[in-house]
Amino acid sequence: MKTKSLRTNRIRVNRALLAMLSAAGFLAGCGSVGKAAADDPVNAPHVAVAKVTRGDLSSTLNIASEFLPYQEVTVYAKVSGYIQKLDVNWGTHVRQGQLLAVLDIPELQQQLQLDEASVRRSEQDVLREREELNRAESIHTVAHLTYTRLADVQKTRPELVAQQEIDVAQGKDLETSASVSSAKDALAESEQALVAAKASLEKDRAMFAYSRITAPFDGVVTEIDAYTGALLPAGTSSNKGDQALCHLAEDRLLRLVIPVPESAVPDIRSGSSVQVRVPVLSKVFQGTVARVSDQVDLATRTMHAEIDVPNSNLEIVPGMYAEASLVLKEKHGALSVPVQAIDRQEEGATVFMVDRNNRIQQRQVQLGIESPNQVEVVSGLDENDLVVVGNRSQLRTGSTIQPKLVSNGLTGGGM
């Protein structure tokens, strides 16, 4: 009985060993088949690839901003007065020097009349003093001739002229000379008074001219703050609460204020062209980098830059949203690949290149200018080489693939 049990156990062990050996052989066979299938070009996976090409490449900086008027001012009255006439309203387009409003200033009109009267009186005083000077000079001329003749006679015939007569003639000569000097001083004083009167008149005329408020530049009235009959105070004080007439903005030339990142500061140049896209208008306008601060803000690490955009047709309204594209670097005939072909690691950038046998090789590459879709390859690849684009997670170096050529730009994916 015991011998029979031992035989049964041996048979079971032999069967188990046979089963294990059969299973191992089956698995080994499957592995060989799988490896053969992987190396079989017919069964190799289809992978999207792109050619390494040459072309013009540029690196751009895209920044969003809002349109601002080229210049914008709040128009105040220079002198206080009531609005007698208002020639503009909300949205009125005006030219430089165009009349905006007329103020009624009766006090200043009366002051002008007083100034004109003062000028006329001063002119009469000057005429009177000039006549007085002429009279004094005439009297002095007679007195001087009399004294001179008597003095000459005394020298030749002293017995004919008494000394007393000569002394009286000399006194008259000196007296009339003093009168001439006094008349000259009076005339000079009257002339100075006339100059002062005329200056006061011109000053008040200049102030009265401010009763006509005109546009300082071409623009559009964006806001009206006072209407006919309202009293406008003189906007010459520092009081910010003074009432204004209106707000005026120049809209035929607009500006975009953009913060340029520190990394792009060395490539920003005044005068360079900028593409400005206005989404709400579905149009692209040409702008120019007009001003840069040439200083990086320590708080934001950005530089203030302004782009001027002509708006002669008034299509753009200040406040609209815009996207500015600034060309930082540009290169012609650059060797480039799609951005999706680059794998960036800490040790450097690599690509999966497809050789002539359709096998994958990993290449180390050095990159240059980068655009949204393309990146320059400085070294590591040659023109017309094929590189894998898209997902590379299931690919390995040395694997055989079936390349599927796609355009050298945005692609639909990987495997």
Same domain? For 226 and 264 the reply is no
Question: What does the CA dihedral 83, 87, 91, 93 come to, rounded to 10 degrees?
Answer: -130
Tell whether 258 is covered by a domain.
Answer: yes
Q: Where are the beta strands (DSSP E) in 193-250?
A: 212-214, 219-224, 231-232, 246-249
Tell whether 7 is covered by a domain.
Answer: no
What angle do helix axes 163-209 and 106-156 make, rounded to 10 degrees? 160
Domain containing residue 371: CATH number = 2.40.420.20
Res. 237 pLDDT band, cuts 50 70 90: low
Res. 215 pLDDT band, cuts 50 70 90: very high
Same domain? For 196 and 273 the reply is no
Same domain? For 311 and 350 the reply is no
pLDDT digits (tens, 9 = 90+) for 360-411: 999 999 998 888 788 889 898 989 899 999 887 788 888 888 888 887 654 3
What is the mean predicted confidence (pLDDT) over 29-53? Answer: 64
Instruction: Domain count for the chain, please give it.
Output: 4
pLDDT on residue 22: 46
What is the mean predicted confidence (pLDDT) over 332-351? Answer: 88
Query: Can you give the residue range of the structural domain that contains 291?
Result: 62-68+250-329
Place of tokens 């006090």: 107
pLDDT digits (tens, 9 = 90+) for 91-105: 999 999 999 999 999
Q: Which of 329, 347, 374 is the last residue of a domain?
A: 329
| C-alpha distances in Å from residue 399, one per residue of 37, 42, 128 | 11, 13, 118
Q: Which of 329, 361, 393 is the last residue of a domain?
A: 329
pLDDT on residue 239: 58
pLDDT on residue 276: 96
Domain containing residue 97: CATH number = 2.40.50.100
Q: Where are the beta strands (DSSP E) in 95-159?
A: 99-104
pLDDT on residue 163: 85
Q: In what order do the strands lie in the sheet with 99-104?
A: 212-214, 99-104, 81-86, 231-232
Burial environment of residue 358 by CB neighbours within 10 A (0 to 12, 13 to 18, 19 or more): middle
* Residue 273: alpha-carbon gap to chain centroid: 13
* R_g (Cα) of the chain, nearest Å: 50
Same domain? For 390 and 318 the reply is no
